[in-house]
């Protein structure tokens, strides 16, 4: 088995540095069961928050650790917003992901192909991202 560090997301992070990451405010309200750290968010409108750093012309989530395209991971993986959980890397489940492809291309990275998943990785280590 190859190293968990070979999971494509752990060499990427592009989607955490490309999209505005917006979600309902309740996801950062612990009294309502929310888990996103509120100090890492900012108000977007009466209904939504955004991860700090993502509502800009050149987004980069404040929780993103590392260097895009080299080694990157989410610093709040277990507490990341729902939109982050929904983004799938291309071909992990057998189909392309337009968000993944768009983010990678924007950062000058090639889109993932089925070959990137040819070897198994350590499923005990969570992959990265996931935005909206």
Contacting residues toward ligand SF4, per CB under 6 A: 8-9, 12-16, 21, 51, 61, 63-64, 74, 76, 80, 84, 87, 89, 100, 103-104, 112, 128-131
Residue 98: is it exposed, middle or buried by C-beta count within 10 angstroms (0-12/13-18/19+)? exposed
Q: How near is the Cβ of 45 to ligand SF4 at its closest, in Å?
A: 19
Indicate the length of the chain as a whole number. 132
Q: How near is the Cβ of 72 to ligand SF4 at its closest, in Å?
A: 7
Residue 48: is it exposed, middle or buried by C-beta count within 10 angstroms (0-12/13-18/19+)? middle
Return the number of the residue (32 or 98) whose C-beta is nearest ligand SF4: 98
């Amino acid at each position: 088995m190859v190293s968990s560090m070979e999971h494509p997301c752990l060499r990427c992070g592009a989607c955490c540095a490309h999209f505005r990451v917006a979600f309902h405010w309740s996801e950062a309200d612990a009294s309502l069961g929310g888990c996103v750290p509120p100090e890492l968010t900012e108000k977007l409108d009466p209904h939504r928050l955004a991860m700090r750093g993502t509502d800009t012309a050149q987004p980069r989530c404040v929780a993103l650790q590392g260097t895009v395209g080299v080694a990157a991971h989410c610093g709040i993986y277990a507490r990341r917003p729902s939109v982050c959980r929904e983004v799938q890397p291309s071909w992990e489940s057998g189909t392309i992901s337009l968000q993944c492809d768009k983010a990678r291309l924007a950062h000058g990275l090639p889109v993932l192909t089925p070959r990137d998943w040819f070897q198994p990785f350590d499923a005990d280590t969570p992959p990265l991202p996931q935005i909206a």
